[in-house]
Structure 1
Amino acid sequence: MSFISVFDVMGPNMIGPSSSHTAGAARIGFLAQKMINGPLKKVEFTLYGSFSRTYKGHGTDRALLGGIMGFSTDDMRIRNSFEIAEKKGLEFTFTPNKLETDIHPNTVDIHMVNESGQEMTVRGESLGGGKVRIVRINSVQVDFTGEYSAVIVTHQDKPGVVAYITKCLSDRNVNIAFMRLFRESKGEIAYTIVESDGRLPEDIGVTIRQHENIHEVMIVQM
């Protein structure tokens, strides 16, 4: 039986009107932009389910765009996110997908391109009450809520890589709350997601990147 706190009932501090369509959307955007080296040049949002039908009226579009620019759920700048993005030179589009229905009703795919040409697609679901889940990074299925500080490591699925990651964290006295490995297939690209009880050392990514089979390290601080 899961525990529900008064904060789950009341919802998060946010720019309204909806905790799932606005606060959750901003949260998904915020987490997505943490997973790619900025600054971003272009972002494409594909919306599914109720997101695709009500994204203008509920401000989901403004919230997603605000989150991509690093705005928190209660940041007043979300209301003007279109204008702010245009001033920054950030290209953005919103495409409703009403054909794919076998999917969580509040789902968005965020395709990001940064100024160096790196591309990444993140799929997120808004679960209600401002809670979200990241369920896909590029073509790999993952499960990540963003409620804890986390290190997300992209690497080859090779023996010893996960042990190396945990040793790097242990050497810096990082207490691991959750750790999961997701992969395309044996020996191919894998994602190791480690969530910590506290903030991660700011330079931990530099240390972890030194392994030859590690491609990228993303730090999400809460």
Structure 2
Amino acid sequence: MRSLSEILGPVMIGPSSSHTAGACRIGKISSIIVNEKIKEVKFYLHGSFGKTYRGHGTDKALVGGILGMNTDDERIVSSIEIAERVGVKVEFIERDLGNTYHPNTVRLDIKTISDKNFSIIGSSIGGGNIEILNINGKDVYFTGKYNTLLINHIDKPGIVHKVSGILSNNDVNIAYLRVFRDRKGDKASMVFELDDIVNEKMINDIRNIKNIEKCVFIEAMK
């Protein structure tokens, strides 16, 4: 059974929960994943996003999210001008990303001030709900509804146990856990969706585990 919030969508700047609220959330989560000042973003807009992004405000919502705005932030309507003022270059490109993706999908190719490059694919599936599906060419899956830990690591025995132990020792409950890898012993990703907040000490403890390369915490979307 769907909740009222899933049907009506979040408190937001309109006109559409899927084309604006969802787009804003994809942008904001992408900025958290990057975790560094952004200087350039190319938005590759798939399906309905590509056909209607100007009329539905998807372009402004995506940029607002990249700048850290929430769905109800009145500055979203001026987000592209704000991005220009603060030195963030944005470009919108209609692109077929393949028939496996939802019509409201976008790939964000992001460059940071230190010239690091990120590529993130997210879909807005209705009612402001989203799915993050790919980060830097690697498949992932999370929705932003839960507090989320994204962990990049080398696929070695015991890493899941060690991270879970830190969470358990701090009374953090795991709602969902997914592990993604291409090959045994290669680079892998873990996604922990949690019922509780993770503090900075816990994040540092996780980062100090051998063979963990990166750990990012994303607080549940409001």
Query: Given residue 165 of structure 1, which amino acid in structure 2 is its aligned partner?
Result: V
State which of 118, 122, 134 in structure 1 corresponds to 2:132.
Answer: 134
1:203 aligns with 2:214: no
Note the residue ranges of structure 2 that are not aligned, 5 or more in a row: none
Partner of 2:187: 189
Contact 1:131/1:145 (CA < 8 Å) preserved in 2?
A: yes
Contact 1:150/1:221 (CA < 8 Å) preserved in 2?
A: yes
State which of 105, 112, 115 in structure 1 corresponds to 2:113.
Answer: 115
> In 2, Cα distance between the equivalents of 1:192 and 1:101?
26
What is the DSSP-based 3-state SS (H/G/I as helix, E as strand, rest coil) of the residue aligned with 1:203? helix
- Please report how far the alpha carbon of residue 12 of structure 1 lies from its aligned counterpart in structure 2 after TM superposition: 1.2
> In 2, Cα distance between the equivalents of 1:91 and 1:205?
31
Q: Percent identity?
A: 44
What is the DSSP-based 3-state SS (H/G/I as helix, E as strand, rest coil) of the residue aligned with 2:33? coil
Partner of 1:34: 32
CA deviations on 1:46-101 (whole Å, 9 max, x unpaired) are 11000010011111000001001111111111101011111111111111114744
> In 1, Cα distance between the equivalents of 2:152 and 2:25?
22
TM-score, L = length of structure 1: 0.94
> In 2, Cα distance between the equivalents of 1:212 and 1:112?
28
What is the DSSP-based 3-state SS (H/G/I as helix, E as strand, rest coil) of the residue aligned with 1:147? coil
- Please report how far the alpha carbon of residue 183 of structure 1 lies from its aligned counterpart in structure 2 after TM superposition: 1.3
Contact 2:44/2:93 (CA < 8 Å) preserved in 1?
A: yes
> In 1, Cα distance between the equivalents of 2:126 and 2:113?
33
> In 2, Cα distance between the equivalents of 1:58 and 1:76?
15
Aligned residues: 220
1:12 aligns with 2:24: no
Partner of 1:21: 19
Note the residue ranges of structure 1 that are not aligned, 5 or more in a row: none
Partner of 1:94: 92
Contact 1:148/1:197 (CA < 8 Å) preserved in 2?
A: yes
Moved >6 Å (runs of 4+): none
